């Protein structure tokens, strides 16, 4: 088979529990997109968030992916082994004067937002108000934040391959955001940008819940002078209460004895019509063909 060296995609699960239908949808979509492009598909274990990482969950996810016929083309990447890369990126941003220490507690930020929104019931943005932009006001540093641009430069627009044109004003919707947390952990936003750049990721396919993070990530890519990949955000799977399916909202582990049943459900969620009888091979070739037709790859 001709492989397309230009395409590199990835699935980046957080090991907070076993793979469930919601995470399978993201895995399948990114896998099909890579296949449809004859590209390379990687798996990155996002275990940078120490407190949320469940021991053994990553191995379980990798094992389930294998049983479901989705084998990464290269060795999995583990965020917990990439501290040095995050520190180097952080130091670059620090020496460019883009990051600053913040002494605010969650409570102080919430109180300050409540004060500034008093009488403006409809104005409910949760953007960080920039309290520590010009100094810590005598308080100890807690988290480190990156300064977002002001005015027109804060408006980021990108074309999502599934959702269409997206626009977000980082100054009014988000504010200066955290790169290093008060507990000393690297924030997801920094780790994801550094990893995608270092792995040469050209196409990101993931759940719609991360659409809201994309402008932040594009901004960081620009600050670090690394390329911006193409984005595609798939609809998330919800439970009966309309909540995103996750371990916290009652997702159950997939039945690894019946991969085709779960894969067919995941494919259906993506608008693909596949059969749950037959082999994994037939499933993947049908699903890839439909995906390629739909996204014109």
Which residues contribute to the annotated binding site for ATP?
247
The per-residue b/e assignment along 135-165, b for 16 or more CB within 10 angstroms, e otherwise, is eeeeeeebbbbbbbeeeeebebebebbbbee
Q: Is 35 in the site for ligand GLU (CB under 6 A)?
A: no
**Contact between 92 and ligand GLU per CB under 6 A:** no
Site string for ligand GLU, 140-179 (x = CB under 6 A): ----------------------------------------
Contacts with ligand GLU, 210-239, as mask; x by CB under 6 A: x-----------------------------
**What's the closest the beta carbon of residue 6 comes to ligand GLU, in angstroms?**
20
Q: Is the separation of the CB atoms in 148 and 154 below 8 Å?
A: yes
The secondary structure element, H or E, covering residue 224 is: none
Which of 190, 192, 197, 218 binds ligand GLU (CB under 6 A)? It is: 192
Residue pair 40/74 in contact (Cβ under 8 Å)? The answer is yes
CB of 214 to ligand GLU, least distance (A): 9
Exactly one of 7, 8, 9, 12 binds ligand GLU (CB under 6 A); that residue is 12
* Contact between residue 291 and residue 162 where contact means Cβ atoms under 8 Å apart: no
SS3 248: coil
Least separation, in Å, of the C-beta of 31 and ligand GLU?
13
Cβ atoms 23, 269 nearer than 8 A: no
Binding site for ligand GLU (CB under 6 A): 12-14, 46, 192, 206, 210
């Amino acid at each position: 088979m001709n492989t397309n060296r230009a395409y590199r995609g990835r699935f980046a699960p957080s090991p907070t529990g076993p793979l469930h239908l919601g995470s399978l949808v993201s895995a399948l979509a990114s896998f099909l997109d890579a296949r449809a492009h004859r590209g390379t598909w990687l798996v990155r274990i996002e275990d940078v968030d120490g407190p949320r990482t469940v021991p053994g969950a990553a191995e379980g996810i990798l094992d389930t992916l294998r049983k479901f016929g989705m084998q990464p083309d290269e060795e999995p990447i583990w965020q917990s082994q990439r501290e040095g890369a995050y520190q180097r990126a952080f130091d670059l941003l620090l020496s460019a004067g883009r990051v600053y220490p913040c002494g605010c507690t969650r409570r102080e930020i919430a109180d300050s937002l409540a004060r500034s929104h008093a009488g403006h019931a409809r104005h409910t943005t949760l953007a960080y108000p920039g309290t520590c932009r010009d100094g810590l006001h005598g308080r100890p540093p807690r988290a480190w934040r990156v300064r977002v641009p002001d005015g027109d430069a804060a408006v980021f627009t990108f074309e999502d391959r599934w959702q269409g044109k997206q626009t977000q004003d980082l100054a009014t919707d988000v504010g200066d955001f955290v790169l290093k947390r008060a507990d000393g952990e690297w924030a997801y936003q920094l780790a994801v940008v550094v990893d995608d750049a270092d792995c040469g990721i050209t196409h990101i396919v993931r759940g719609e819940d991360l659409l809201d993070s994309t402008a932040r990530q594009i901004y960081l890519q620009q600050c670090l002078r690394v390329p911006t990949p193409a984005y595609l955000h798939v609809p998330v799977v919800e439970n009966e209460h309309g909540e995103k399916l996750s371990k916290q909202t009652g997702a159950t582990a997939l039945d690894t004895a019946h991969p085709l049943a779960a894969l067919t459900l995941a494919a259906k969620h993506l608008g693909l019509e596949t059969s749950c009888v037959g082999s994994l091979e037939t499933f993947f070739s049908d699903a890839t063909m439909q995906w390629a037709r739909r996204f014109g790859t």
